Amino acid sequence: MRRVIRRALVVGALALLLAAGVAGAVAPEGPRLALVKLTTKPTRLELLTVDPNGGLPLRLAGGGRRARPLPFFFSPLSWAADGGQLAFSAIVASKGGDGPDFRIYLVNADGGGLRPVPKTSNGYGPVLSPDGHILAFTRFRELDGAPGKIGGKMREAFFEGATLWTIDLDTGKQRQLTPWRNGLEYHASSFSPDGTTLLATRSDDRRTDTPEPVAIGIDGGGVTRLLVDGLFPVYSPDGSRIAVFREVGEDIDLYVLDVAGGSVQRLTRTPGNVELFASWDPSGERLAFMRFSSAATEPASLGIGDSLMQVNADGSCPTKTLSAPRTGFYVPAWQPGPGREAGRIEC
């Protein structure tokens, strides 16, 4: 999994070499799904919303050459609870041989009001709290050469770690939730509906080689492991279930964990494929996620020609929504809010 993320960072840096402002438009009614679309020949990075069938696209950010900011295609998106604005990580500058620089941005559902979130340099994977006042995100740092200062301390020449942070959007006050340590990574993915718990993926070289889903108490409640393995856990709208991805050999499939009972249901079986970044429809009856060939984790294309998928929460009716040659569809996120429910997929 770390190789996938690092390769995505490299591709993000290359995207800067490609790099159309966005004019506000009326946000369409009904269910909408946000995603990042990467196309080649010509190359474009766009943040879009589409209808449940992948149609009626509305561009919120990004574009072609000279477009700024460019949405980072391997960073999950996060909607405010009312569906009025979307948080995303964007490529804003190149740091030479160290790869791209990132910042968290907010944009309105109609594509207007695009603005950076202060003090989020080198941040990605934003997660908005249910009340819209707190933004959680991940900072990743890597040293491969001379020693450097990370977290106020000098670190060895070879260092790789990721920490979780929160920022109060009203006051700008930041909190570091997890420590900097070589070989330790946390990647935020979801708040609980009451805002007291943050779900994340933890990778810790001192514990296990396998990433594990964890729940973190925002007010000092500690870290609780949910399963012995898993990636990118996401709460259902009512908090009763958690979607999570689990590795099966070279493949990664989608599962659902029952929070109260602890049982786990496997939703997909897709040999030769990697599935990531699930998002619950506001009704809680279906999920969207991305799927690409497990062989595509090695080449720099990283999922070009992949698919945007949907499936019912009981595992029925798996449906390919978007797929095209020389195109990647990433990090789907259902827009919440009254009247935005897509409901079950009819087979």
- Which secondary structure element, helix H or strand E, spans residue 280, and what is its range? strand 273-280
Residue 24's pLDDT is 53
Q: What is the model's pLDDT at position 76?
A: 95
Q: What is the mean pLDDT of residues 276-288?
A: 97
- Residue 23 binned pLDDT confidence (cut-offs 50, 70, 90): very low
Average pLDDT, integer, range 233-246: 97
What pLDDT shows up at residue 300?
A: 38
| pLDDT (tens digit per residue) in 116-141 | 999 998 899 999 999 999 999 999 88
Which of 54-58, 119-123, 239-243 has the weakest average pLDDT?
Answer: 119-123
- pLDDT for the residue numbered 14: 43
* Position 10 pLDDT exceeds 70: no
Output the six-digit token pair for 201. Answer: 């993926």
pLDDT at 1 over 90: no
Cβ–Cβ < 8 Å for 49, 34: yes
Q: What is the mean pLDDT of the chain?
A: 86
Tokens linked to 38? 């990467």
- The residue whose two tokens read 């990531």 is 276
CA nearest neighbour of 84 among 315, 336, 275? 336
CA 146 to chain centre: 31
For the record, the structure tokens of 320 come out as 């390919």
pLDDT band at 305 (very low <50, low <70, confident <90, very high): low
Higher pLDDT, 73 or 257: 257
What pLDDT band is residue 12 in, cutting at 50, 70 and 90?
very low
Q: Which residue has the higher pLDDT, 258 or 11?
A: 258
Give me the pLDDT at residue 191, please: 97
pLDDT at 18: 40
Whether residue 13 is predicted with pLDDT greater than 60 in this model: the reply is no
Domain ranges of the chain: 236-320
Strands (E), 148-219: 148-150, 153-155, 158-168, 174-176, 184-191, 197-204, 208-217
Flag whether the pTM goes above 0.85: yes
pLDDT score of 144: 78
Query: How many Cα atoms sit within 13 Å of 235 on the Cβ side?
Result: 25
Q: Residue 16: pLDDT band by 50, 70, 90 thresholds?
A: very low
Which amino acid appears at position 178 of this protein?
A: T
Angular region, 159: left φ>0, alpha ψ -120 to 50, beta rest? beta
Confidence of residue 216 (pLDDT cuts 50, 70, 90): very high
Mean pLDDT of 56-69: 86
Mean pLDDT of 78-90: 96
